[in-house]
Amino acid sequence: MRGLDAAFRHKPLGISGESLIIPGIGSCIPARSARSAIVVAIKALNLTSGARIGVPLYSCPAVFKAIKAAGCRPCFIDVESDTFCMSSDDLASKSAQIDAVIAIHMFGNTCVMPELQNAAQGKPIIEDCAQSLGSKLDGKMAGSFGTIAAFSFRSGKYLSVGEGGALFSDHADLCSRMSQLIAMMPAPSYAGECTHVIKTYIRSLLRNKPLWGIVGHRIWRIYNNKVEFSEISPIFLDQIYRADFANTIHRLNYLESAIERQRSHAEYYLTNLKLNPDMMCHETPGSYFNRYMFPIIFPSNTDRDFMAMYLFRRKISTSKPYYDIADVAAKYYGYTGDCSVAENISRRVLVIPSHFRLCHEDVKHISQYVNEGWEKIKSQ
């Protein structure tokens, strides 16, 4: 804590007016989190109260929560099964019903932004780049296409600093509005900052070996089953923690090498996994995926669940992202069941480990057991 204490003595809390330079994007406005950044982005657009925001159904429900916190309503758009990103065809069919769009680059895959811009018919587009830092389309960075872009540095992301996010726009008036909105937010106190650092450190320990296997996995499973949805991923409209801001600047130096390593893991999987080709996600023409996650689509949720358990018994953790998203969206946000592709893939997707800290032997080990599990599924 001495270093943290010294930082506070030499610089006041709060970072209003400071910017964050993301390579290939430019000067960004720091935010407490990507969730709060989306709230700020929506408010900066000056939409009418109750405006409808087009958002892919297959996405983190915290985005829906942010839309609601900004006084708007989500209008759910289906996705493409090969990239998990928003369908331009479905957006075009619903564009008359919406006032703005949130395009999410899911798993680090890139949306086909020119097609979405045409389908949106002039409506403003917020690019959600929480998972796509460093991804590109036709040589341009994800986040440089839309009206506004939001980034995330939450634990588990490429920069993984605890919390933290950022906003970007090449529209001066929007930058000014977003800066003003964040400047009016309270800065974290010294006590709050210290508590955040300690909590982040403990969470990090529980998500890494050996504590993940001993107690971490069990704790997170109980937490997700017991805690009400409304209490998961709360949105705090405060300024960014200074510790998160400092860590973000530091870890940006290692972003490119981390992406290259993770892309190398993905390439190994694509080459060595003996799955049907359409079960894996391939880069689309002109795209450069940061390979934030490596999703596999199984023929059925029974096959997906079998593989998850098969790998878990061999001490390989997997995830089933947004598996209940249709139920959550229907219960809390008025989803009426018109996104069949998103619903279908949510029941069949399994993400296997591909983090850049894995060594080649780890990736080889995982591939071996995925192939063994797939052989057992086929034999059944």
> What would the pLDDT profile of 100-135 be if each residue is shown by its tens digit?
999 999 999 999 999 999 999 999 999 999 999 999
- 2: in domain: no
Here the tokens at position 274 are 């003996």
d(CA 179, CA 338): 37
**Cα(248)–Cα(113) distance, rounded to whole angstroms?**
27
| Per-residue pLDDT at 234 | 83
Residue 132 lies in a domain: yes
pLDDT of amino acid 206? 62
Do residue 372 and residue 263 come from a single domain?
yes
Domain hosting residue 154, numbered range:
13-183
* Confidence tier at 345 by pLDDT (50, 70, 90): very high
CB 156 within 8 A of CB 133: no
Does residue 44 share a domain with residue 145? Answer: yes
Instruction: Please tell me whether residues 116 and 264 are part of one structural domain.
Output: no
Q: In terms of domains, do 264 and 167 share one?
A: no
Q: In terms of domains, do 158 and 259 share one?
A: no
We report the CATH number of the domain holding residue 275 as: 3.90.1150.10
Q: Are residues 178 and 259 located together in one domain of the fold?
A: no
Domain shared by 19 and 151, yes or no: yes
- Please check whether residue 228 lies inside any domain of the structure: no
258 and 151, same domain (yes or no): no
Assigned domain for 243 exists: no
Q: What is the DSSP string of 74-102?
A: EEEE-B-TTT-SBPHHHHHHHGGG-SEEE
In a domain, 52, yes or no: yes
- pLDDT, residue 198, reads 87
Q: Does 18 share its domain with 156?
A: yes
Overall domain count for the chain: 2
Q: What is the pLDDT of residue 201?
A: 73
Whether 325 contacts 56, CB under 8 Å? no
User: If pLDDT is split at 50, 70 and 90, which confidence band does 208 have?
Assistant: low
CA distance linking residue 86 with residue 116, whole number of Å: 8
Does 23 share its domain with 159?
A: yes
Q: Note whether 149 and 264 are same-domain residues.
A: no
What mean pLDDT is reported for the chain? 90
351, 321 Cβ separation under 8 angstroms = yes
pLDDT tens for 60-116 read 999 999 999 999 999 999 999 999 999 999 999 999 999 999 999 999 999 999 999
CATH of the domain at 26: 3.40.640.10
Domain-located, residue 242: no
Indicate the helix (H) or strand (E) that contains 20: strand 20-22
Whether 231 maps to a domain, the answer reads: no
- State residue 13's pLDDT score: 41
pLDDT in the model for residue 266: 98
Task: Choose among 131, 127, 59, 96: nearest CA to 342.
Answer: 59
- Domain assignment of residue 213, yes or no: no
pLDDT digits (tens, 9 = 90+) for 149-188: 999 999 889 988 889 999 999 999 999 999 999 999 999 9
- 18 or 197, which is more confident: 197
Residue where a domain terminates, one of 183, 202, 217: 183
- pLDDT greater than 70 at residue 371: yes
Q: How confident is the model at residue 232 (pLDDT cuts 50, 70, 90)?
A: low
Structural domain ending residue among the three candidates 135, 158, 183? 183
Whether residue 177 sits in one domain with residue 263: no
Q: If you average pLDDT over residues 275-289, what whole number do you get?
A: 95
Whether 225 has a pLDDT exceeding 60, the answer reads yes
Tell me what the mean pLDDT of segment 206-216 comes to. Answer: 62
Answer with the one of 145, 167, 183 that is the final residue of a domain: 183
